[in-house]
């Protein structure tokens, strides 16, 4: 291996990344842009859903209930309606997304421990928002009723401890409030870092299209010098993203970063090696940029969404798909990013995934080198 050959190719390719607008955007801008776009579109939290209230009970209990329902940011009281007609009107006009009708026997039934008489009407044209409202009203109503019941039991002199032999409390670790945003940003990193892999796939095809490949193959450069020289610049460009994106995640999305940043850089470099090797295999087989791009979408991007466990847990995948997901560098990197960002674990725990990535990278690069011939046909 000649380091002069290697460095000459790296230098040429770096100059290309900096000077070719398309490549520059794809490698250095697109990952951040796509991350922002996807985070905003996927991690939306529904807030301030306007609701109306029709209180037939008009008791202190019902007023207290209503107060509790609208105590959070999730549901806003738009109107204290006087009749069903008014509620219908508000729903049709889209002023409210849901309405709560408190029956006349609400407080009596509740205090007599006969349950809650409550009706919820939602705007079915927006099922997402309606479902959200039903869930949130339900949770609030349940906890309200439980508090009332506990009060009742206490006043009748029964100890609460004896009533609750099982105390099941669900606590989610590392993301205590279960905010989707936090979980999604580190996961998305493994998808958006696929874009440098696109570029690697394109870079070989580009040389074929511009017939620079013919000139390059006529020189004494070796296959591995050429392939590594093509890959390393894009690993470096990918690492720029690995530095920029966590800064955005931390500063903009309040994602915690509990791990060691240097370890994270190292693990990311290993991931990029594996991911970009995959791009290299595509580049070796596809002689045109359009074909290389299409295959990159199929092999890098889509499996990244569906198989790496970012949106759908890998445990839920059919066995074949689960096996396939093990061959995707993104699957292992998603575990690494979540671990480093949220849990704060490092190399001492994540080393098996790092080893898996090294194996995948070596296998992909080996395949690329094996099938890359220094011949035109």
Partner 1 sequence: MTDKEFIKITDLTRKFKENIALDSINLTIQEGELFGLVGPDGAGKTTLLRTLAGLLGISSGEVREAGCDLRKNSEAVKSKIGYMAQEFSLYGKLSVLENLQFFGEMYDVPPALQKERIPGLLAFAQLMDFTDRRAAKLSGGMKKKLALACTLLHQPPILLLDEPTTGVDPVSRRAFWNILNDLHLGGTTIIVSTPYMDEADRCSQVGLIYQGKIVECDSPENIRQKIEGEFIKIVTHDWQKAREIIQPLTGVLEVQSYGEALHILVDSSTKRLGQIQKTLQKNNLEIMEIRMIKPRMEEAFISLIRKIGQTN
Interface residues toward partner 1, by CB under 8 A: 2, 4-5, 7-8, 11-12, 15-16, 19-20, 210-222, 374-377
Nearer to partner 1, 58 or 212 (CB): 212
Nearer to partner 1, 11 or 67 (CB): 11
Report, in Å, the least distance between residue 377 CB and partner 1: 6
Rg for the chain, CA atoms, rounded:
29
Q: CB of 41 within 8 A of CB of 47? A: no
Dihedral angle over CA of 274, 278, 280, 281, nearest 10: 130
Report, in Å, the least distance between residue 208 CB and partner 1: 11
Nearer to partner 1, 80 or 211 (CB): 211
Report, in Å, the least distance between residue 302 CB and partner 1: 31
Q: CB of 17 within 8 A of CB of 27? A: yes
Nearer to partner 1, 13 or 183 (CB): 13
First-to-last C-alpha distance (Å) of the chain: 25
Report, in Å, the least distance between residue 19 CB and partner 1: 5
Q: CB of 307 within 8 A of CB of 201? A: no
**Cβ neighbours of 204 (radius 10 Å):** 25
Angle at the Cα of 14 from the Cα atoms of 330 and 2, rounded to 5 degrees: 95
Q: Write out the two tokens for 190.
A: 């493994």
Nearer to partner 1, 114 or 210 (CB): 210
Nearer to partner 1, 4 or 93 (CB): 4
Report, in Å, the least distance between residue 369 CB and partner 1: 14
Report, in Å, the least distance between residue 264 CB and partner 1: 33
Q: Helix 60-69 to helix 127-155 angle, to the nearest 10 degrees?
A: 130
Task: From 36, 70, 37, 40, select the one nearest 53 (Cα to Cα).
Answer: 70
**Cβ neighbours of 224 (radius 10 Å):** 16
Nearer to partner 1, 164 or 214 (CB): 214
Q: Write out the two tokens for 353.
A: 């995934």
Nearer to partner 1, 32 or 222 (CB): 222
Report, in Å, the least distance between residue 218 CB and partner 1: 4
Task: From 374, 193, 360, select the one nearest 284 (Cα to Cα).
Answer: 374
Report, in Å, the least distance between residue 282 CB and partner 1: 22
Task: From 102, 100, 82, 84, select the one nearest 92 (Cα to Cα).
Answer: 84
């Amino acid at each position: 291996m000649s380091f002069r050959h290697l460095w000459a190719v790296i230098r040429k390719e770096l100059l290309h990344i900096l000077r070719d607008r398309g490549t520059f955007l794809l490698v250095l801008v697109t990952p951040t842009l796509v991350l922002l776009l996807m985070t905003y579109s996927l991690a939306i939290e529904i807030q301030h859903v306007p609701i109306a209230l029709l209180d037939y009970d008009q008791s202190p209990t019902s007023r207290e209930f209503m107060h509790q329902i609208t105590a959070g940011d999730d549901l806003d009281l738009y109107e204290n309606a006087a009749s069903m007609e008014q509620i219908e009107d508000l729903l049709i006009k889209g002023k409210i997304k849901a309405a709560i009708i408190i029956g006349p026997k609400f407080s009596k039934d509740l205090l007599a421990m006969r349950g809650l008489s409550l009706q919820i009407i939602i705007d079915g044209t927006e099922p997402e928002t309606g479902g959200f409202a039903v869930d949130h009203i339900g949770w609030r109503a349940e906890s309200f009723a439980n508090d009332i019941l506990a009060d009742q039991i206490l006043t009748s002199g029964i100890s609460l401890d004896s009533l609750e032999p099982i105390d099941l409390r669900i606590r989610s670790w590392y993301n205590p409030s279960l905010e989707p945003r936090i979980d999604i940003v580190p996961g998305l990193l493994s998808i958006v870092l696929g874009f440098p892999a696109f570029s690697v796939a394109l870079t070989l095809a580009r040389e074929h299209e511009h017939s620079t490949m013919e000139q390059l193959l006529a020189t004494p450069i070796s296959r591995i010098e050429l392939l590594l020289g093509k890959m390393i610049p894009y690993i470096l460009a990918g690492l720029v993203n690995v530095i920029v994106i966590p800064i955005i995640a931390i500063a903009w999305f309040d994602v915690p970063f509990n791990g060691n940043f240097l370890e994270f850089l190292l693990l990311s470099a290993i991931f990029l090696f594996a991911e970009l090797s995959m791009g290299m295999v595509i580049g070796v087989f596809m002689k045109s940029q359009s074909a290389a791009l299409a295959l990159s979408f199929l092999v890098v991007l889509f499996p990244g969404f569906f198989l790496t466990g970012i949106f759908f847990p890998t445990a839920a995948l059919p066995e074949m798909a689960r096996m396939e997901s093990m061959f995707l560098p993104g699957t292992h990197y998603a575990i690494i990013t979540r671990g480093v960002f949220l849990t704060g674990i490092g190399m001492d725990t994540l080393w098996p995934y790092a080893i898996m990535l090294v194996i995948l990278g070596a296998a992909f690069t080996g395949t690329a080198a094996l099938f890359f011939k220094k011949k035109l046909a």
